[in-house]
Amino acid sequence: MGRPCARRVSRQSVAQTIVRGVRAGTIGTALLVGLSAAGFQFEELLLGTAVFSAVIGIVLAPLVGEDEHAVDEVPDQPFEIGDMIELEDGTTGFVEDITIRYTKIFTLDNTFLVVPNGTMRERDVTNFSAEDERTRRSIDVLVTYESDIAEARRLVERAARDCDAVIDGGPDIRIGVARYMAGPDCRLHEFGDNGILLRLRYWVKKPYKLAKVQSDVNTRIRERLADADVEMAYPHRHLVFDGTSGVARVDADSGAATQADADRVAGATGSETAAPEGGDTGDEPPESPDRDADEAER
């Protein structure tokens, strides 16, 4: 009975609450019928139910008091069970369950995150599955001032269309009262210090693998621009020295000439060191022993 009623409700959290309520009511009714068949009086059953409810109320009063608006918060949640959401701290996942006290999120890291509804209401929540799953993303591309801007824009748009997960065209997508181009659109965003900034906007069919789609688009942009007359810019500095800072002149041939002069000086110094101190160059033959003997007899 509960599930047919739940199918008529669009909000999955409300449908789940209906199923649980019908199930609890069925179990309670069966319990009362069983006790009545066992011989218990209806008045005694009512008295016992009242006492039991009072005890439950006393036990749950401190817990419910922590979130006095918990019951009102559940219907006002900006997401439903099964929606893909992103919290303000970057946590992304799917809503697994919504109760009166907390919301359970199944994160993309394969972990469960349980957030109290009071805290959940105070957070900024991005819902990727609300009404339309198509999600628009943007990528900035910096090219040099010497590049062909028209060609660069055309190549960037074509690179995005090459990805299967990107919507390549069709009817305009309506957001509120405005309509936006469904296909990739690259515009000149601004003139930067290091180049011209192009901004690509494209729509993704499903929001479940946004990081992978962005990586694929970036890869195809790099491949497209590498084969064309478009150069991607990067931060750099050009240093210019004025006349007050001095000029250092460097001659490429002066180094070789200086080395040759040093070799010649070293060779001359070595020759002078090998010569005798008396200035004899070694051209005269040495004296004979017979000449010394003749001089001795004389």
131-185 per-position pLDDT tens digit: 788 899 999 999 999 999 999 999 999 999 999 999 998 888 888 888 899 999 9
Q: Which pLDDT belongs to residue 145?
A: 93
Torsion, Cα of 276, 277, 283, 288 (10° steps): -90
239-274 per-residue burial string, b: 16 or more CB within 10 A, e: under 16: eeeeeeeeeeeeeeeeeeeeeeeeeeeeeeeeeeee
Q: Which pLDDT belongs to residue 195?
A: 93
Nearest-angstrom CA–CA distance, 212 and 229: 28
Q: Which pLDDT belongs to residue 143?
A: 95
For residue 60, give the amino acid letter.
Answer: L
Q: Tokens 């040759």: give the residue.
A: 260
List beta partners, residue 126: 86
Nearest-angstrom CA–CA distance, 71 and 64: 9
List beta partners, residue 200: 139, 186
Give residues with Cβ within 8 angstroms of 75, minimum separation 6.
11, 14
pLDDT-based confidence at 2, cuts 50/70/90?
Answer: very low
CA torsion sign for 216, 217, 220, 221 is: negative
| Spacing of C-alpha 56 from chain mean position | 49
What is the phi-psi region of residue 245: left when phi exceeds 0, alpha when psi lies from -120 to 50, beta otherwise?
Answer: alpha
Q: Which pLDDT belongs to residue 3?
A: 46
For residue 251, give the amino acid letter.
Answer: D
Are the CB atoms for 107 and 121 separated by under 8 Å?
A: no
Q: Which pLDDT belongs to residue 215?
A: 96
Residue 6 has pLDDT above 50, yes or no: no
Q: Which CATH code fits 135-226?
A: 3.30.70.100
Q: What percent of the chain has pLDDT over 90?
A: 26
Report which of residues 58 and 236 the model is more confident about: 236
Average pLDDT, the chain: 75
Are the CB atoms for 108 and 152 separated by under 8 Å?
A: no
| Three-state SS at 187 | strand
Residue 64 has pLDDT above 80, yes or no: no
Nearest-angstrom CA–CA distance, 234 and 141: 10
List beta partners, residue 139: 200
Q: Which pLDDT belongs to residue 61?
A: 57
Q: Which pLDDT belongs to residue 162?
A: 93
| pLDDT tens profile 173-225 | 888 888 899 999 999 999 998 899 999 999 999 888 899 999 999 999 999 99
Q: Which pLDDT belongs to residue 49?
A: 67
**Among 74-88, 96-110, 150-164, 192-206, the least confident range:** 74-88
**Which tokens hold the place of 157?**
């748009």
Q: Could you say which architecture CATH assigns to the domain 73-127?
A: Roll (2.30)
pLDDT-based confidence at 126, cuts 50/70/90?
Answer: confident
Are the CB atoms for 83 and 130 separated by under 8 Å?
A: yes
List beta partners, residue 114: 104
List beta partners, residue 85: 93, 127
DSSP 285: P
